[in-house]
């Protein structure tokens, strides 16, 4: 019921507040998206702003100051009942180990209203950046400010961090925030190439995350049918590609395709177990006699064998296409 009421309050407040938010704020807003934020960041770099002040707010959703937020809301909401209702949501507390702990700061945990309230809090931050004439893009508590030099970046970092602490009563996460080149930082899972007109690329940490998930789905000790494994892979890869397919440096997608097929070849090679069965499987899949014998008797492990000529023939790209394995790169 709380979630239902919060959703109704959200619809009323969003219509009133959203049109007044900064165009550089993209998080949790109609007709805005992560891709839009990334494209705006890319445009600043193409315009010659080659340094980024990468700001991350420490535990932002847990540290929103209730008094400041209610004061902001009261500027536009005259209905005391509405203010009381929102205040009740803010103070509702969180469930921990079956017990409710009171909330003295932060926005409703997992509630539909939380993203809008966070944008209302950070709208003051956006307006300050606009007042200073800075090029910036923000998605929730993740903000990038683009400047032309490292010196300018350090100056902006110092002043803005002071504003966040002093005025907004929030904290900058010093371990995740820094001044650097855009190609060395990540924003919403993406990074950029070093070119004069930078292209969007998938950040290394994002690539490692997808690989870790694929490793889980293709464990060699899995006893499930290959078709079921491919079905699970496809569900994950389609969602992943829907977001990261926005990249422009696409060689990484081709490399991931090859790596996924190697994982599956490795899995099948281990399943075939004995030299006799391996030889039979290879021959049945079009591998010539001598190559099949040499490969089947190899003492190398599954991963090195997954790159062998025989397995590339027996378990070709066409074989995986016949299983409808999702391709990341055409």
Contacts with 210 (C-beta within 8 Å, 6 or more apart), sequence order:
240, 244, 256
Mean pLDDT of 244-260: 97
**Which tokens hold the place of 285?**
């899949």
**Which tokens hold the place of 170?**
């929030």
Using a cut of 0.75, tell me whether the model's pTM lies above it.
yes
CA 24 to chain centre: 19
**Which tokens hold the place of 4?**
């239902």
What is the DSSP code string of 272-293?
H-SHHHHHHHHHHTT--HHHHH
**Which tokens hold the place of 145?**
């400010």
pLDDT tens-digit profile of 5-51?
889 999 999 999 999 999 999 999 999 999 999 999 999 999 999 99
In whole angstroms, what is the distance from residue 62 CA to residue 117 CA? 12
In whole angstroms, what is the distance from residue 150 CA to residue 6 CA? 43
Mean pLDDT of 141-161: 97
- Highest mean predicted confidence (pLDDT) among 10-14, 151-155, 168-172: 151-155
Reduced to 3 states, what is the DSSP secondary structure of residue 179?
strand
In whole angstroms, what is the distance from residue 19 CA to residue 310 CA? 61
- pLDDT of residue 99 exceeding 80: no
Bridge partners of 94? 101
pLDDT tens-digit profile of 268-317?
999 999 999 999 999 999 999 999 999 999 999 999 999 999 999 999 99
pLDDT tens-digit profile of 197-237?
999 999 999 999 999 999 999 998 888 999 999 999 999 99
Reduced to 3 states, what is the DSSP secondary structure of residue 187?
strand
Backbone angles phi and psi of 188, in degrees to 5: 55, 35
In whole angstroms, what is the distance from residue 117 CA to residue 112 CA? 10
Reduced to 3 states, what is the DSSP secondary structure of residue 174?
coil
- pLDDT of residue 105 exceeding 70: no
DSSP 57: B
């Amino acid at each position: 019921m709380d979630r239902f009421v919060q959703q109704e309050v959200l619809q009323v407040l969003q219509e009133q507040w959203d049109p007044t938010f900064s165009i550089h704020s993209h998080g949790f807003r109609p007709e805005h998206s992560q891709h839009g934020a990334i494209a705006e960041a890319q445009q600043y770099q193409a315009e010659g702003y080659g340094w980024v002040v990468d700001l991350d707010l420490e535990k932002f959703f847990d540290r929103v100051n209730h008094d400041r937020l209610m004061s902001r809301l009261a500027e536009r909401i005259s209905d005391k009942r509405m203010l009381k209702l929102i205040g009740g949501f803010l103070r509702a507390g969180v469930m921990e180990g079956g017990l409710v702990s009171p909330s003295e700061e932060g926005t409703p945990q997992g509630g539909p209203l939380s993203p809008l309230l966070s944008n209302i809090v950070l709208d003051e931050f956006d307006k300050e950046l606009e007042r200073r004439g800075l090029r910036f893009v923000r998605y929730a508590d993740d903000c990038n400010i683009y400047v032309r030099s490292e010196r300018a970046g350090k100056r902006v970092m110092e002043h803005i961090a002071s504003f966040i602490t002093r005025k907004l009563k929030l904290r900058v996460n010093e371990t995740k925030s820094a001044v650097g080149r855009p190609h060395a930082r990540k924003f919403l899972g993406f990074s950029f190439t070093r070119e004069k007109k930078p292209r969007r690329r998938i950040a290394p940490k994002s690539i490692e995350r997808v690989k870790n998930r694929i490793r889980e789905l293709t464990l060699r000790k899995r006893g499930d049918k290959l078709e079921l494994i491919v079905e699970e892979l496809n569900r994950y890869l389609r969602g992943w590609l829907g977001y990261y397919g926005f990249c422009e440096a696409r060689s990484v997608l081709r490399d991931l395709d090859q790596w996924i097929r190697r994982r599956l070849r490795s899995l099948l090679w281990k399943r075939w177990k004995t030299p006799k069965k391996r030889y039979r499987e290879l021959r049945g899949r079009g591998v010539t006699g001598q190559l099949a014998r040499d490969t089947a008797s190899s003492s190398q492990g599954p991963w090195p064998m997954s790159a062998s000529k025989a397995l590339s023939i027996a378990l070709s790209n066409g074989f995986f296409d016949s299983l409808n394995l999702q391709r990341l790169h055409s």
